[in-house]
Each structure stands twice: as structure tokens, then as C-alpha cells.
Amino acid sequence: MKTNPREIIIYYNPESSRDRKTVAHAQGLVPHVRTYAFGKTPSTKTSWQTIIRSLDMHPKELLNKADPYYQSHIRGKEFDDESWLKVIERNPSLIKAPIAIRGKKAILCNSAPDVYKLTSVA
């Protein structure tokens, strides 16, 4: 995934007020913000691998474990990394927070101001 350090890319849920606030904070940081709605933008396994590598997280850590779908279909199951990527690919609505990317750095924005952690990226 090619990114410009003067731009922030955000994967988010447009129905979430917290996620929309994250986008607004990002727009205050840089002149160019690209947004991709979870589930509306086709994402490949390769792009998710790149994002997860940039986050330095395990795919399972991205998921909202309180979500009813997670509770009824995924809870208690163990998957390898490849299978967790498939879970994310097929159920992007399970991602618990927006993901912001600037340059080679990515963060999971558990709160809207978390996007400011990307300001140190040149």
C-alpha cells in the first residue's frame, strides 16, 4: 500500500460518531485525508496484512469482542493468522475502531484524538 506522509488514510465506520470525529480530527492535521468505509471498500487479504503489520498487532486484537456476531460465531475459537485475516475480510464491521495510516505508521484510534499520534510522522 503506497502512502504519502502528507496524507492520512482512515478506514472507519461512517455510522459511528466516534469514527466520524476521528476523521474530523485528521482533517485538522493534514490537507489530504482519504477515507474508506469498512465493508464498502473492497479490501484484499494483502492490504489487510499490510495494515496489520503496520499496526504491529495480531488480527484478533482489532475485533470488537462484545459484538453479538463475535459472541455467537467466533468467541472461543482459535484460528491461525490466515484465518483471522479471513474473519476481518468477511466481517469488517467487527473492527472495533478506526485505523489511521500516515506514511509507514498506522494506529488503531480507540478515541478520536488518538489520530494525533501520527503527527510525529514525517
What's the start-to-end Cα distance of the chain, in Å?
A: 17
What are the cell numbers at 113? 484524538
Pairing mode, strands 105-108 and 7-12:
unpaired
pLDDT score of 47: 85
Kindly give the parts of the chain with pLDDT less than 70: 1-2, 42, 121-122
pLDDT score of 122: 44
How many angstroms from the chain centroid is the CA of residue 75?
20
Amino acid at residue number 112: A
Task: Report the DSSP beta bridge partners of residue 37.
Answer: 12
The sign of the dihedral angle between the CA atoms of 109, 111, 115, 119 is: negative
In whole angstroms, give the CA distance from residue 102 to residue 104: 6
Q: Do the beta carbons of residue 97 and residue 110 sit within 8 Å?
A: yes
Check if CATH label 3.40.30.10 holds for domain 7-120: yes
Domain locations in the chain? Answer: 7-120
